[in-house]
Structure 1
Amino acid sequence: MKHFYAFESKTEYEQHEAVIEHFKDQLTDYQKYLEQNFALNDLPKAFVWTSKEAATSIFSDLPIPAFTNKDTIYLTPDLSAWKKLFLDQLEDKRNASIEEYYHNLPLNQLLTIAGHELTHHIDLFVDEFEDEREDSIWFEEGMCDYLARKYILSDSEFQEIVEVESQLVEMFKDKYGDHLLDAFGHASYQGSLTGIMFDYWRSFLAVKNLVEGRFEHDVHQLFKEYHKWHREGRKVPLTRFFNMDGGWFF
């Protein structure tokens, strides 16, 4: 996997060089973990490190500066840009603990975003990433968060993000939670940042609950059941297949 740097100046690159090099080293370890345990057989062709502005206005028009386009991952290593984006998620609401968390965003949490994008390339997901996907996109997005966070974060860091995103779901469920998990991205990327992120928060929490509750921390058994659902022809939505009723929908 090659690494490219898309910044407007050498000075801008140098501002982020140390973080990029640290992330590259850590991603190598995570890559090996995915190869050994989760069928990462074909790596993306390239990782493009760039600015938030380039990621969201030149390489794409998405409001989130981390994404995969075919075989290339784009991500900004700018921690300050991510802090602002995450604080903007609160819209007009106030929450002292969440604000403090994002003001002091751990670098490891940013690294998990890069890990999330790499996890999309494992062969255990039944849909091709660029294809039209239905019914199970929440599972893939939630699992990408879960695997990256469980490997990269310490136990305490993992619990911190679980608590933060649980609070965010609770804060915004009345405004953005009028659809089921199976309709992940129902408003596409035309909605607000918070509306987009809401589906990611609850997909991560749903996968966490499945792995650590229903499947007693056996993530491979969860994948087996997911594959069974696919082999049997997806006769029902994946959430119904897993009997995810009541609180499972957040």
Structure 2
Amino acid sequence: MKQIFAFEAKEDYEKYQDLIDRFNKKLKDYQAELEKNYALKDLPKSIIWTSEELATTVFSELPIPAFTNKDNIYISPELSKWKRLFIKQLEGQRNQKIEDFYENMSENQLLTIVGHELTHHSDLFVDEFDDEREGGIWFEEGMCDYLSRKFILNEKEFSEITKVESELLEMFKSKYGNHSLDDFGNASYQGSLTSIMFDYWRSFLAVKYLIEDRANHNVKQIFKEYHHWHNEGRRKPLVEYFELERLFR
């Protein structure tokens, strides 16, 4: 993958150059894991490192400065901007534990977002980038979160982000949880930041439950069931196929 720097000023690149170098070194280990065990065969052409502003106003109109398509990953390395963005998820509510977590968010937590975007390129996912990608997008998004966090974070860091997103889910499920996981992506990006992120929290926790509780930590078993659902013609919604209807009630 080529490394492309899209900043408006040389000073912005210089400010984040060391961080980006550290990320790329660490990302190679995760890339190797995906290539060995999770069918990462065709890498994106580049990672485009850019500012939050350019990522959300020029390269896309999404409110989250990280995304991927068939050819490129776009990501902002601005850790301070990510901290503010994640605290904004609270929508003005106070929760000291969650605020402390995001105010002290580590580089590793940010690196998992880069890893998430790279994981989308695994051939184990059945939908292509230019597909409509309906009926199971939650599985891909949740799996990208799970795998990147499981391999990049240490056990304590993984536990911390799980607890934070579980608590956020409880805080906002009455406001944003009145739709099925299978509706992930249906106009979700027209909502607020928190309504968008709610589907990510729920998808990650659903995949974590499937892998760790249902399959006794056997990731490949869950992928096998996912492929069976797809190869049999998607006869029922994936949430129903995995019997997850009651998971977040």
Q: TM-score, normalised by structure 2?
A: 0.98
> Aligned pair count?
249
Aligned to 1:114: 114
In 2, Cα distance between equivalents of 1:245 and 1:58: 39
- Three-state SS of the structure 2 residue aligned to 1:249 is coil
Aligned to 2:133: 133
* Deviation of 1:185 (Å): 2.5
- Three-state SS of the structure 2 residue aligned to 1:19 is helix
Please, what is the CA RMSD of the aligned residues?
0.8
Amino acid at match of 2:180: L
* Deviation of 1:242 (Å): 0.8
1:7-30 Cα distance to aligned partner (Å, 9 max, x none): 111111111111100001111111
Aligned to 1:145: 145
In 2, Cα distance between equivalents of 1:204 and 1:28: 23
Q: Where does the alignment leave 5 or more consecutive residues of structure 2 unmatched?
A: none
Is the contact made by 2:134 and 2:185 (CA closer than 8 Å) also made in structure 1? no
Aligned to 1:21: 21
Aligned to 1:12: 12
1:154-173 paired onto structure 2 within 5 Å: 154-173=154-173
In 1, Cα distance between equivalents of 2:32 and 2:186: 34
1:50-74 Cα distance to aligned partner (Å, 9 max, x none): 0000100010110000001331000
In 2, Cα distance between equivalents of 1:188 and 1:171: 19
Aligned to 1:249: 248
Is the contact made by 1:62 and 1:189 (CA closer than 8 Å) also made in structure 2? yes
Aligned to 2:35: 35
Amino acid at match of 2:222: L
Is the contact made by 1:87 and 1:102 (CA closer than 8 Å) also made in structure 2? yes
1:1-250 paired onto structure 2 within 5 Å: 1-246=1-246, 248-249=247-248
In 2, Cα distance between equivalents of 1:12 and 1:128: 34
Q: Could you tell me the percent identity over the aligned residues?
A: 64
In 2, Cα distance between equivalents of 1:215 and 1:56: 38
* Deviation of 1:130 (Å): 2.7
* Deviation of 1:3 (Å): 0.7
Is the contact made by 2:188 and 2:195 (CA closer than 8 Å) also made in structure 1? no
In 2, Cα distance between equivalents of 1:117 and 1:10: 26
In 1, Cα distance between equivalents of 2:39 and 2:70: 18
In 2, Cα distance between equivalents of 1:28 and 1:2: 13
